Chain A
Amino acid sequence: MNDLLVADSVSKNFGNFKALNQVSIAVPKGSIFGLLGPNGAGKTTLIRIINQITMPDEGNVLLDGQPLKPEHIKDIGYLPEERGLYKSMKVGEQCLYLAQLKGLGKAEAKSRLKYWFEKLEIGDWWNKKIQELSKGQAQKIQFIVTVLHQPKLLIFDEPFSGFDPINANLIKDEILQLRDEGATVIFSTHRMESVEELCDHIALIHKSNKVLDGKLNDIKRQYKTNTFEVGLQSNNSDAVLTEIKNKFEVLPATFRNLNDDIKLNIKINENTSSNDLLTFLTSKAEVHHFVEVIPSANDIFIQTVKNN
């Protein structure tokens, strides 16, 4: 079994509203899995099913090959999008309480908390009440509570909201480190640049259906259009341009560069290799810029959602 979590044809209805329709995903062990989709697509419902907050109407979910059961709660760490902490409780007490609810012993929880508090440099918060902390500070506590019991599966729903760029980076590094230490991460967000940075796999849910999933690189390969960004310099640019346009499909380009005369997106057909194009270009002008256009997660997201 290489997949830590498998959801098999999961459906869920709320009254007449179908929140999930036969959605299947497989989250490989040790990966960061991006669960994407527009607002109201059904991501949160799927996450809640994985957390056993609600049950699917159809289909089943396997964790480590076993159907989900209450004991699995300690194997999952969940940071919901809708999150908060007991406001009048002290930070330390609260962390201990939540850790114990996840099945940790008190002494164990204490020593791990000490480690995390030192790591995130918040040791002096232990006796503060949550209401004395800022939103970002409370988010840090929330993050610690989520990962403290060292679950196999971590589920983060918009983990960076409320963080300044420095702390967001800090949390991002922690997530990557947790992944390196063997945790599997499901990551739900609307911030495509963090998907780009973090995710190995993605699945895209749209209008209750899964419309796309796989390795991010594979998907990008699938979505690439054999287009190259090209920047050229030549004394005779008009002639060169005409020549290129006769041979290839040319689109306007918008990349930023210093002083190239010709900026183009050139699309080649499948029979032509990038080397062919490059050879052709070098024979005509001086090549300053030659990059394959890789579709961003953002492009893929928008394109997929629009097409469906």
Chain B
Amino acid sequence: MNHLPLIIKREYLTKVKNKSFIVMTFLSPLIMIALIAVVVYLSQLNNDKQRTISVLDETGHLEGVFQNTENTTYTNLNDLDLEAAKALVKEREDYGLLHIAKVDSLEDISDNIKFYSEESPSLSIMSSLERKIEEQLKELKLRKDGVSIAMIESSETDIDIVQENFDGEKSSKEGNIIKLIFGGIAGYLLFMFIIIYGNMIMRSVIEEKTSRIIEVIISSVKPVQLMLGKIIGTSLAGITQFVIWVILGGVLMIVVSLILGINLSELQTPQQEMINQAMQSEGGQAFAQKVFIGLGNLPIVNLIIAFLFFFIGGYLLYSSLYAAIGAAVDNETDTQQFMLPILMPLILAVYVGVFTVIEDPHGTVSTVFSFIPLTSPVVMLMRIPFGVPLWQQGLSLLLLIGTFMFAVWFAAKIYRVGILMYGKKPTYKELFKWLKY
């Protein structure tokens, strides 16, 4: 008798109706958004602070370099001597005093610049000052040597080698970055999913034991069906929660940014900065175009289908491992130690993906790891943007699903044997024999 749909339904409904599940589903996005809003708000508070920086330039070479900005005002103290300037800055409670000492040659200026302040100045302000001075000195030096800015600009070249395979498919550096990002996102999602919901599956498998209903259930259904039903039902509950999180998070994000008037996209992350810089150096349009072309060059349909299959396959496989652990232990406290060994292959997969696949997407290491079931969901997904023959994808997927089925079967065996043990440790030989039942 096939009870699978029934079991899936029960597992799903039990999880979804659970009070703490409901609370977490709706509370988590709130907490996350609140956290982000607070961080953004605080960082903006900091940025909004007005500061005055006094400049004492005894060389006169840096005139006009320090332009006032929204938050920073520069005052010129060139008429004063250093001691007087210091006293004044201290008295006015300026942010600090930038002192460029009088020297004879341009080359010596760089060694004689000091910044005096009450507290140690922030890193970003110092690097901004340094950049400004560097640029000015560089220009002055070039001019002294008889090179004009126009000459420099005209000599600047931008090389972007167009990569094309023999079938005429083009790709580019930007395309590779996109591929890397895509693979990274897939791996990261899988990682998160497993960490968040693996435990839930494990608990679900232990549930029958702690509530002592196991013998009633096991006399009605096959353990394999029970395992499969639990894994699928719990996974569906997880996906439900995740989708709600994404939607709710998105809506909340918009609402919060509207209410607080905070532009959340201003939250600067290193990646964004990199992109910004790239955009500045190449001109926004050209970059956007390249990204677009890069996206267009990806095998989109293949990717989406492969993503779905490998993501689900990978998730199910890791879930079944959690289920096997749940089947082997009697209570939840015994399970913590198993978490790391399970996550190890996944971490390895991400490393292989980031360090090897990008460098050599079709090399031996990449290829092998894209077939090993525990790492293939991440590695194969990272390889696919570089073009992987369909038979390889199919074979890898088949291996993945096969391993999943085996893991479920194995978990079911452990489960059944577990209830028959009378508190004595079986030998491996016996265990093997029991597996046959």
Give A86 to B212 CA distance when docked, in angstroms. Answer: 8
Q: CB distance A101 to B14 under 8 Å?
A: no
Find chain B residues with CB under 8 A from A78 CB. 215-216, 219
Given contacts A14-B422, A84-B212, A84-B213, contact A51 B10 (CB under 8 A): no
Q: CB distance A101 to B215 under 8 Å?
A: no
Give A102 to B212 CA distance when docked, in angstroms. Answer: 18
Given contacts A88-B14, A103-B1, contact A51 B213 (CB under 8 A): no
Q: Size class of A's contact patch?
A: 20 to 34
Q: CB distance A97 to B10 under 8 Å?
A: yes
Give A136 to B212 CA distance when docked, in angstroms. Answer: 15
Q: Which of B1, B6, B213 contacts A85 (CB 8 A)?
A: B213
Q: Which of B6, B7, B207, B424 contacts A86 (CB 8 A)?
A: B207
Give A84 to B207 CA distance when docked, in angstroms. Answer: 11
Give A82 to B209 CA distance when docked, in angstroms. Answer: 10
Choose the segment among A69-77, A177-185, A217-225, A261-269 that binds chain B (4+ C-beta atoms closer than 8 Å).
A69-77
Give A101 to B10 CA distance when docked, in angstroms. Answer: 11
Q: CB distance B216 to A76 under 8 Å?
A: no
Q: CB distance B416 to A53 under 8 Å?
A: yes
Given contacts A70-B1, A73-B220, A74-B1, contact A48 B420 (CB under 8 A): yes
Give A142 to B219 CA distance when docked, in angstroms. Answer: 14
Find chain A residues with CB under 8 A from B18 CB. 88
Find chain A residues with CB under 8 A from B219 CB. 51-53, 73, 76, 78, 80
Closest to B426 in A: A15
* Smallest CB separation, B47 vs chain A (Å): 49
B265 in contact (CB, < 8 A): no
B437 in contact (CB, < 8 A): yes
Q: A interface, by DSSP: helix, strand, loop or mixed? A: loop
Q: Which of B3, B212, B218, B421 contacts A53 (CB 8 A)?
A: B218
Find chain B residues with CB under 8 A from A14 CB. 420-422, 426, 430
B247 in contact (CB, < 8 A): no
Q: Which of B7, B222, B420, B426 contacts A54 (CB 8 A)?
A: B420
A83 in contact (CB, < 8 A): yes
B27 in contact (CB, < 8 A): no
Give A73 to B217 CA distance when docked, in angstroms. Answer: 11
* Smallest CB separation, A95 vs chain B (Å): 12
Q: In the complex, which residues 78-107 of chain A have their Cβ closer than 8 Å to any Cβ of chain B?
A: 78, 80, 82-89, 97-98, 100-103
Find chain B residues with CB under 8 A from A86 CB. 14, 207, 211, 213
Q: Mark B401-437, 1 if CB is under 8 A from A, else 0.
A: 0000000000000001001111010110010000001
Q: CB distance B215 to A53 under 8 Å?
A: yes
Find chain A residues with CB under 8 A from B427 CB. 15
Given contacts A80-B219, A102-B220, contact A15 B430 (CB under 8 A): yes
Q: CB distance A83 to B1 under 8 Å?
A: no
A244 in contact (CB, < 8 A): no
B129 in contact (CB, < 8 A): no
- Determine which residue in A76, A85, A97 has the highest number of CB atoms from chain B within 10 A of its CB, and name it: A97
Closest to A54 in B: B420
Q: Mark A125-145, 1 if CB is under 8 A from B, else 0.
A: 000000000000000001001
Given contacts A54-B420, A78-B216, A102-B220, contact A84 B211 (CB under 8 A): yes
* Smallest CB separation, B413 vs chain A (Å): 12
A168 in contact (CB, < 8 A): no
What 5 pairs across the A-B complex have the smallest Cβ distances?
A: A84-B212, A80-B215, A101-B220, A51-B219, A84-B213
In the complex, given contacts A54-B416, A97-B10, what are 4 additional A-B residue pairs having Cβ atoms less than 8 angstroms apart?
A14-B430, A78-B219, A84-B213, A101-B7
Question: 9 A–B contact pairs at CB < 8 A?
Answer: A48-B420, A53-B420, A74-B1, A76-B219, A84-B211, A87-B211, A88-B14, A97-B6, A98-B216
